[in-house]
Structure 1
């Protein structure tokens, strides 16, 4: 455990006294469930309460996930009524904290439990959630998945080996990529340029976009590249992501590494030469949409569906030649394989966890495990047979209720209305869903290109210990504020890169070395799970 200051220990003592007092009150009230293992496998489950965030675009067309075709079918198949409870839009974290402060919780809470103060292990210690280890015999489908994929089990567990809850699992690596570098292929074709793969090649292409009027309007209004500061897609080429990474088991912090200075030097050059969007520090979604659909942007870092797919659809009628495609993550030298890239873990950090208030843990385990069966997986990903999908040679294929919705819903909202495969939840996301969602050849090619990274220096989903969580949070709040401010200054030239070493020393003074050590301890605990 990392040693802290006397001041921090004093705060810790006050916190412990407060927790003991709260625990005593809870015991006296009799509201907190005893987490002794429940042993009645025959207790019927007819209803459960389920707390989960309602995705914003789902909230635009429904009041509850209970309206989703897939969930209706699950309830019909199992005979279990699910009462969904959704926090108010934009208040997820606040309402989660208020909820867990009480002694009466919904039966299931679907949330990123490592965001609980002190992490999921602390939530277990506080008897807010029930680890699944003692109940896996009642979850044969999930049990087999975790046995066949030990890395998935590590990601679904605390450092103590407690299984947090029922996870959302992406079964194929192509489902784990969602964001990456993209470029206007029609501009490349017009200027007889090849797809750039190195930083030098990118510079050549961006200069051409700036100087050769690829949008053909006779104005020098092109924005060669649009991306935020610290973007991994380009910082990674210099061997330094904008966060922690590990190098052969040793944790490092990218923004203090020498390679990060090289990255900032390159971005400063691109900014000075008008290659990087002058508004890179303030762009929001609305501004980005306007610039891309206004035929100004030559390249950007885009989402697969909410970027490439979205803009191809938006521009199809007004500009039929518009074509935006994914590119490989850039490297410094030709022929190198990219190390870093945007990629989710196969097991996300959101778990449908059984709470300490649940009076029928075994029944709930059985119900949630059904979602990992072949039938449950198919329903969650494809909905109701004969309505939202049909089987073609054994493969579920979406009907026009999804693909050409009769109510005029775009495919993204048709998915939200009828299935959970495009959202998340306690089930395995079927790769066949992804293949039918990302239908454009540009999207499929981008998935393949963005998946082609080694990821050997990527940090796994570690957990900060209960003892270190407050100190770590305090350090990183100051670190991120200062780092983000200085990165903007370095790129825009208001701070000379000659002062990079002073910037590193300032970060050390703010505690980055202690934060690295906390992350190192977390990595070692993760590896020992």
Structure 2
């Protein structure tokens, strides 16, 4: 139940954890008990439960991850139906082929009431919103979503990330307020450091020397040169993870630095060349996993769990299931690069765009907004992520933790739609016990000083601009990924860098930068 920020590379991070004290009964929470003021014209309570007096049915189209069980069997939806008086029929589509099924719904206009955990892209939200298949939500938020409205006031970067240039909101995001759910930690094998009498590296040069020692000096003590100094998720995930040491940021959901309010797409920059040359050196000397460009996720997770890896990245420590392996690792700070930079990659607070939308066939949008708003509270998020108190979790100092028996059952992903990512809800510190245990909290503290004050999410463009950007990026992103892979792997000489830069210019990267500049200027104007 973690988020793979390394994989959130050039498609998700470039384009565009757990809130707990769940209610397992059909009674309203104490803070809302007895408070059920209703909109007289709509019959919808603006606070408390039930949301409606007469039972209401909604159809929701959703993505079901391979690890999930049927949504109808999840405690969150069974118990929330009793609380809210709203019955949900989920139309489940598996992750494989999901986008095709989603597109077919809109193309055929055979719409459900709600798109739930449907991963709508900004372009889809604008296209289907302006086309009338999704309805604007901003007035509904003001009237029926106090929890979401409060979050939008607390984190001002949320509103511009989901608001179109015309001022409409067509889709709601998953919101992450706890920093540890927005970062990949930098896990280093402290047992190996101690064995070799090495200190935690603070610079890219020191990091290189530590990796060489891991490779050559037998830190696992078996007399064989079988240690893996460093690994990362498949493909170019290593680029955003290490980019901060070379002063490269990922603002606006793309390869962008913001310098004095100026957008700089850095793909052809000298700093990026330095980054790729450094990664090439690690790869050539077998300090970086030789299987980086071929391994699957399962292989990567296995390498984390062996204890025979010197350094890797992950949001949490769940893959290191063995306690002894866990004890081998500590989180470290980003290493400083040749220019003194040590930025930390982080996802934006509105992390999962397009998690929830209401369609034009929905006859009860007010009740629907009330229904989803509950999950933007700690109480609602606890129910969604942890299930039933006593049966699935217990409270310790007000924080929910899975019970030992339930953890041993291995059924955590069966009771919550969170597993697989993209669910519309709040991930706050109060609900993050499973992904934010003490070891992870300590690792996050090493990253906090290097986090950006604001991580701007991918902006909302009007449809014409979005189409322009998609056309430009289809070519630019593919070319950048292919060439960067070759540079790192040594299949392309850095003597070709000028040619690489010229090709990016021919692909109109300067025009792409101008479009992002306009979007950023508009975003600043909204604040």
Contact 2:301 2:319 in 1 (8 A): no
| Paired position in structure 2 for 1:431 | 429
Match of 1:248 among 242, 260, 275: 260
Match of 1:220 among 225, 232, 243: 225
The alpha carbon displacement at 1:182 in A equals 1.8
Give TM-score scaled by structure 2 length.
0.81
Q: What runs of 5+ residues in structure 2 fail to find an aligned partner?
A: 1-38, 45-53
Residue aligned with 2:432, SS: helix
Q: Does 1:197 align with 2:209?
A: no
Contact 1:372 1:428 in 2 (8 A): yes
Q: Does 1:170 align with 2:176?
A: yes
The alpha carbon displacement at 1:296 in A equals 4.0
Whole-Å separation in 2 of the counterparts to 1:337 and 1:296: 29
Whole-Å separation in 2 of the counterparts to 1:53 and 1:291: 29
Whole-Å separation in 1 of the counterparts to 2:299 and 2:376: 41
Match of 1:397 among 397, 400, 414: 400
Question: Which deviates more from structure 2 when the two are superposed, residues 383-392 or residues 467-476?
Answer: 383-392
* Cα separation, partners in 2 of 1:190 and 1:365, compared to 1, 3 Å: same
Residue aligned with 1:343, SS: coil
Contact 2:189 2:311 in 1 (8 A): yes
Give TM-score scaled by structure 1 length.
0.81
The alpha carbon displacement at 1:258 in A equals 0.8
| Paired position in structure 2 for 1:238 | 246
- Larger relative contact order, structure 1 or 2 (CA cutoff 8 Å, min sep 6): 2
Q: Does 1:487 align with 2:484?
A: yes
Larger Rg: 1
| Paired position in structure 2 for 1:303 | 314
Contact 1:47 1:83 in 2 (8 A): yes
Residue aligned with 2:461, SS: coil
Whole-Å separation in 2 of the counterparts to 1:368 and 1:321: 37
* Cα separation, partners in 2 of 1:377 and 1:180, compared to 1, 3 Å: closer
Residue aligned with 2:175, SS: strand
Residue aligned with 1:452, SS: helix
Q: CA RMSD in A?
A: 2.9
What do the CA deviations read for 1:335-383 (whole angstroms, capped 9, x no partner)? x573241334245313311111111222222322344456434433443
Aligned length: 471
Residue aligned with 1:186, SS: helix
Q: What runs of 5+ residues in structure 1 fail to find an aligned partner?
A: 1-37
The alpha carbon displacement at 1:453 in A equals 1.9
Contact 2:318 2:435 in 1 (8 A): no
More helix by share: 1
The alpha carbon displacement at 1:126 in A equals 0.6
The alpha carbon displacement at 1:286 in A equals 3.5
Match of 2:503 among 497, 502, 506: 506
* Cα separation, partners in 2 of 1:206 and 1:474, compared to 1, 3 Å: same
| Paired position in structure 1 for 2:125 | 120
Match of 1:342 among 346, 371, 374: 346
| Paired position in structure 2 for 1:25 | none
Match of 1:461 among 458, 463, 474: 458
Q: Does 1:497 align with 2:503?
A: no
Whole-Å separation in 2 of the counterparts to 1:91 and 1:211: 45
The alpha carbon displacement at 1:140 in A equals 3.2
| Paired position in structure 1 for 2:372 | 368
| Paired position in structure 1 for 2:409 | 409
* Cα separation, partners in 2 of 1:185 and 1:522, compared to 1, 3 Å: same
Whole-Å separation in 1 of the counterparts to 2:329 and 2:55: 50
Residue aligned with 1:329, SS: coil
The alpha carbon displacement at 1:299 in A equals 1.2
* Cα separation, partners in 2 of 1:354 and 1:289, compared to 1, 3 Å: closer
Contact 2:62 2:92 in 1 (8 A): yes
Whole-Å separation in 2 of the counterparts to 1:278 and 1:415: 32
* Cα separation, partners in 2 of 1:489 and 1:153, compared to 1, 3 Å: closer
Contact 1:50 1:106 in 2 (8 A): yes
The alpha carbon displacement at 1:448 in A equals 2.2
The alpha carbon displacement at 1:524 in A equals 2.0
| Paired position in structure 1 for 2:89 | 83
Whole-Å separation in 2 of the counterparts to 1:397 and 1:111: 24
* Cα separation, partners in 2 of 1:133 and 1:174, compared to 1, 3 Å: same
Match of 1:107 among 94, 105, 113: 113
The alpha carbon displacement at 1:234 in A equals 1.6
The alpha carbon displacement at 1:421 in A equals 8.7
The alpha carbon displacement at 1:193 in A equals 1.0
Match of 1:515 among 506, 512, 517: 512
* Cα separation, partners in 2 of 1:256 and 1:180, compared to 1, 3 Å: farther
| Paired position in structure 2 for 1:328 | 333
Contact 2:164 2:461 in 1 (8 A): no
